[in-house]
Chain A
Amino acid sequence: MYAQMVKTDSSKVRDLSEMTDEERAFQERIDRGEKIEPTDWMPDGYRKTLIRQIGQHAHSEIVGQLPEGNWITRAPTLERKAILLAKVQDEAGHGLYLYCAAETLGVSRDELIELLHAGKMKYSSIFNYPTLTWADIGAVGWLVDGAAIMNQVPLQRTSFGPYSRAMVRICKEESFHQRQGFDIMMKMANGNSAQRHMAQDALNRFWYPSLMMFGPSDKESVHSAQSMAWKIKINTNDELRQKFVDQTVPQAEYLGLTVPDENLEWNEDKGGYDFSEPDWTEFFEVLKGNGPCNRERMEARVKAWDDGAWVRDGLMAHAEKRHASRTAAE
C-alpha cells in the first residue's frame, strides 16, 4: 500500500459498550468478516478515514508514474521500454480504480485531485526520491512494489467492499511488476562493473526509503488501532516491515548485493532479521515537503492538470453540445 500515517479522527478505540446501536451493529458486521458496501450505513470516521487512505493510495499511483516515466524514454532495449510502458499503464489503471472506489464514498476524483494539489492530501513518501540510473527502475519494481505488495495482499481482506475488490486486481498486477523489477536487478547485478555499481547504488539509496513506506513504528502510530478495528488496516507497520526485510534480504544476497545496514543480522530466537530503523527525521522531513523531489513532483502534476484544463473543458463542451442537439431532435 502507498498510504502512510492515515488519520482516523479518533485517539482511542471505543469498545462495543460505548457505541450507539448503529455503531455497534456496524462493528459487529466487521468483526464477523462481512464486507461493507457503499450504500450501507457507516460511521463518519470510517468513511473519512477510507477516503484519506484510498485517496492517498490513488495519488501515489499517479505521482508514481513520474519517477518511472523518467526512464521510459531512455529504456535500454525495446523490450524493456515495452515492459516499463505496460507497467506504468497499469499504475495509472490502479489510480483509476482507486479513485472510483473513493467515489463510492461520496467524494469526486476532481475534489481529491484538488486536495492533492493544494497540499491537503499526501502521496507515498517514496515517490519523492529520484530515479537516477536505470538500476533505480529495477529497485523501484523490486523494493517499492515489493513493499507495496506486502501491504496490499492483506488489504484484499479489508472491510470495505470496493477497496477490497480493487486490491485483488491490483495485487495480481503488482506481483508482475515486482518480478520485472527483480529481473532488471538480476541483469544489472550480473552485468559489467558499471552495471553492478548502479545496482548496488540503487539498493543503497532505496533501502531505507522502502522501509519507511510502512510508516513509523507501531509505538508512534496513534491511528493504527482504530484502523485495525475497522479492518482497513490488517497488520501493524512493524509486522509488515519485518516481513519485508525477511523476504528481501535473501533476494539481495542472491543478487550478490549488500544491504546497507551494518546491524543486519539473523535472529534465531525471533526467526527474523534484526535491522536498523530508517532515519525517521528524514521521513518526517519528506512528509513535510522536504524530500529531494517533492517540489518537482507536485509542480509536474499541477502543470499537467492546468495545461490540460482546455482539453477537459473542450470535451465537456462537446458533450453538452451533443446532448443539446439530441434533446432538440427528440
Chain B
Amino acid sequence: MAMSGDIIANDILFEWLLRRGDTPLILGHRVSEWCGHSPVLEEDIALANVALDLIGQSRLWLTYAGEVEGKGRGENELAFLRDAWDFRNFLLAEQTNGDFGKTLMRQFLIDAYQVPFLAALESSGNERISEIAAKAGKEAVYHLDRSADLVIRLGDGTPESHKRMQTALDMLWAYTGEMFAGDAVDEAMFDASLAPKPENLRPQWQKTVDMVLDQATLKIPQSDFAHQGGLSGRHSEHLGHLLADMQFLQRAYPGATW
C-alpha cells in the first residue's frame, strides 16, 4: 500500500479527505438553492457568500483527496462523477432546506462543529491539511457568528419565529450525533497526529450549542438517538436527487470541457 510520508495509508487519508470535502460541497449546494428566494436582500447576499465559501473549501479538500488517491481524479471528477454511495458527507448536510429556519439551524449545528474541528486541524502533522484548515477555519468562524446570531434573534423573536426554530431543532437534532461518531479512519488519523478524534470535539460543540440555544430560548431535545450512515455512504433519499441536479451536465455530456 502506498504511504504518505510513512505516516498513514493513502486510502485512509483519501477517505478522511472525502469526508472533509463532501460536507461543505453538499451543504454549499443546499445553501445555493436559496439564490433569489431568501426572506430579505441581505440574506440573499449572505447565503450566496456562505455557499461560495463552502464550495471553495470543498474544492481544496477534494483536490487534495484526488492527489492522494493518485488515480488522476480532480475536484470535478470527485464532485460530479461519484454516485451517492461514494459520498462521505454528514447526513445533516444533505437534509433539505425546508423553511429559512431549518436552513439556518442546519447551518448553525454544522458551523458549531466546524469551528473547533478546523481549529484543531491547524496543528495537524500534515502541512497541507493545516493550511486548508487555517483558511477554512477563518470562514467557519464568521459563518458561526452569523448563524448563531440569527438563531438567537429568531428563537427569541415572535412566537411564530420561536416555534419555527424549535421545530427545526427538533427535526435536525437526531442528525447531530453522527458528527461525533468516528470510526477506524478517524482513529488512524488521530493516532498519526493528523486530526482530532471527533468525539473529543463534542464538549466544545455542546458548549456553543447550549449557550446559543439558551439565549435563543430553545429547548434541546432529550433524545440521544443519532442517525448514522453518511460516513459509510448510506445516505438519505435526498442525496440522490441533489446529485441528479448537480451532476446533470457532466453526466449528460461526458468528457466535455466547460
Residues of A near any B CB (own CB < 8 A): 62-63, 65-66, 68-69, 72-82, 85-86, 88-89, 92-93, 95-96, 99, 109, 134, 184, 187, 191-192, 194-195, 300-301, 303-305, 307-319, 321
Contact = CB atoms under 8 A, between A and B. Distances in A.
B50 to A, nearest CB: 10
B39 A82 contact: no
A301 B40 CA distance: 11
A109 B99 CA distance: 23
A318 B156 contact: yes
29 contacts: A62-B36, A62-B44, A65-B36, A69-B35, A72-B33, A72-B35, A73-B245, A73-B246, A74-B245, A74-B246, A74-B249, A76-B256, A76-B258, A80-B258, A88-B35, A95-B41, A96-B45, A134-B249, A191-B257, A192-B256, A194-B256, A307-B39, A311-B154, A313-B158, A315-B154, A317-B157, A317-B161, A318-B152, A318-B157
A219 to B, nearest CB: 36
A214 B58 CA distance: 41
A281 B234 CA distance: 55
Contact of B41 (A66, A69, A96, A315): A96
Given A80-B258, A85-B48, A304-B39, 9 more contacts: A74-B246, A76-B249, A78-B79, A96-B42, A301-B36, A307-B100, A308-B40, A310-B160, A314-B162
Closest 3 A-B residue pairs measured CB to CB? Answer: A308-B39, A314-B161, A314-B157
Which of B25, B48, B153, B164 has most A Cβ within 10 Å? B48
B12 interface: no
B258 A77 contact: yes
B106 to A, nearest CB: 15
Nearest to B154: A314
Tell me the interface secondary structure of chain B in the complex: helix
Interface string B74-100: 011001100000000000000000011
Given A65-B36, A93-B45, A318-B154, A78 B52 contact: no
Nearest to B248: A74
Contacts of A99: 41
A74 B32 CA distance: 11
Nearest to B164: A310
A187 B258 CA distance: 6
Given A62-B36, A77-B258, A310 B55 contact: no
B42 A76 contact: no
A95 B38 CA distance: 14
Interface string B99-133: 11100000000000000000000000000000000
A99 to B, nearest CB: 7
Contacts of A304: 36-39
Nearest to A65: B36
Contacts of A88: 35-36, 48
B257 A72 contact: no
A134 B249 CA distance: 8
Interface in B138-158: 150, 152-154, 156-158
B15 to A, nearest CB: 20
A77 B76 contact: yes
Contacts of B38: 304, 308
Contacts of A194: 253, 256
Given A78-B59, A99-B41, A314-B154, A134 B164 contact: no
B29 to A, nearest CB: 6
B236 interface: no
B36 A314 contact: no
A317 B59 contact: no
B157 A313 contact: yes
Contact of A65 (B35, B99, B152, B248): B35
A126 to B, nearest CB: 15
B18 interface: no
Contact of A313 (B100, B156, B160, B255): B160
Contacts of B157: 313-318
Contacts of A66: 36
Nearest to A99: B41
Given A77-B76, A78-B79, A310 B36 contact: no
B48 to A, nearest CB: 4
Which of B29, B55, B58, B99 has most A Cβ within 10 Å? B55
A134 B248 CA distance: 11
A311 B38 CA distance: 10
A69 B48 CA distance: 10
Which of B99, B100, B153, B250 has most A Cβ within 10 Å? B153
B56 interface: yes
Contacts of B58: 78
A78 B22 CA distance: 12
Nearest to A133: B249
A195 B249 CA distance: 11
A62 B33 CA distance: 15
A73 B29 contact: yes
B232 interface: no
Nearest to A79: B59
B37 A300 contact: yes
B49 interface: yes
Contacts of B161: 310-311, 313-314, 317
Interface in B33-73: 33, 35-45, 48-49, 51-52, 55-56, 58-59, 62
Which of B36, B150, B154 has most A Cβ within 10 Å? B36
